[in-house]
Amino acid sequence: MKDVIIACDFNSKTELMAFLDQFQGESRKPFLKVGMELYYAEGPAIIREIKARGHQIFLDLKLHDIPNTVKKAMAVLSALDVDICNLHAAGTNAMMEAALEGLTRPDGTRPLLIAVTQLTSTSEERMQKDLLIDHPLEEVVLHYAANAKAAGLDGVVCSPLEAGKVKAACGQAFLTITPGVRFADGEVGDQVRVTTPARARELGSDYIVVGRPITQAADPVAAYQRCIAEFLGGEAK
């Protein structure tokens, strides 16, 4: 089910709630991404409050630790009833398998679990020199995506420009969650390789993560609706 996820990169509950209040009259409740900044500032209570308002949540905490610790941490996040969680594929397949176990609730349901491959802030040069990973960056990204698939995960975070290659390697059902989205007539900001919502759809993105083009817009609700219309086209309800 394709959707637009708003990156709620706010550092307090006050700012978040002022933003969400603008959507209160809307029939479509936006899917929200909560990252480390807001989660560490406000704790799990912020997740419960957002869920109570009827939003789906992608909790972007990018776990990476020993398998047992990640398994237990994922069980805590799963009990918060979030819809998508993530981790670093660099934690190994054993860590990803343990994470899935921890995430699975007693009734067999679980949030989707998504892997980060290489962060887009990591250049090929830094990966090779700092991490001693002596392969082309794209090969590493696709290898980590294949590991995530083998461990039973649902997809990866990647650029819309990589979504086709990930799907070719891991299958069409393997999800791609893609940031770096901008309107054709909008500010690019610090993102380097950007695509429009419509182009992201053509390239095979399942979920686009959009922050500032919506959160910093003069009319955030209109910007969100534009994003939905461009990304979902005729599928928008």
**Bridge partners, residue 60, by sequence:** 35
Distance CA 176, CA 209 (A): 11
Task: Report 179-208 residues binding ligand C5P (CB under 6 A).
Answer: 179-180, 191
Task: Report 38-97 residues binding ligand C5P (CB under 6 A).
Answer: none
Which of 157, 166, 170, 208: binder of ligand C5P (CB under 6 A)?
A: 157
The catalytically annotated residue of 29, 51, 62, 165 is 62
Which of 57, 141, 210, 228: binder of ligand C5P (CB under 6 A)?
A: 210
- Residue 107 CB neighbours (<10 A): 6
| Contact stretch for ligand C5P (CB under 6 A) within 21-29, 130-138, 167-175, 210-218 | 210-218
Min CB(180)–ligand C5P separation in Å: 6
Residue 30 DSSP symbol: P
Distance CA 61, CA 71 (A): 14
Distance CA 48, CA 212 (A): 24
Nearest-Å Rg of the Cα atoms of the chain is 17
Contact partners, residue 43, CB within 8 Å, separation at least 6: none
Q: What is the dihedral of CA 140, 142, 144, 148, to 10 degrees?
A: 180
Contact between residue 70 and residue 95 where contact means Cβ atoms under 8 Å apart: yes
Which of 56, 69, 92, 120: binder of ligand C5P (CB under 6 A)?
A: 120
Specify whether 62 is catalytic: yes
CB nearer to ligand C5P: pick between 9 and 154: 9
Residue 91 DSSP symbol: G
Min CB(210)–ligand C5P separation in Å: 5
Which of 29, 64, 110, 212: binder of ligand C5P (CB under 6 A)?
A: 212
Q: Does 209 bind ligand C5P (CB under 6 A)?
A: yes
| Contact stretch for ligand C5P (CB under 6 A) within 134-142, 161-169, 211-219, 221-229 | 211-219
Task: Report 16-35 residues binding ligand C5P (CB under 6 A).
Answer: 35
**Bridge partners, residue 175, by sequence:** 155
For ligand C5P, the binding residues (CB under 6 A) are 7, 9, 35, 119-120, 157, 179-180, 191, 209-213
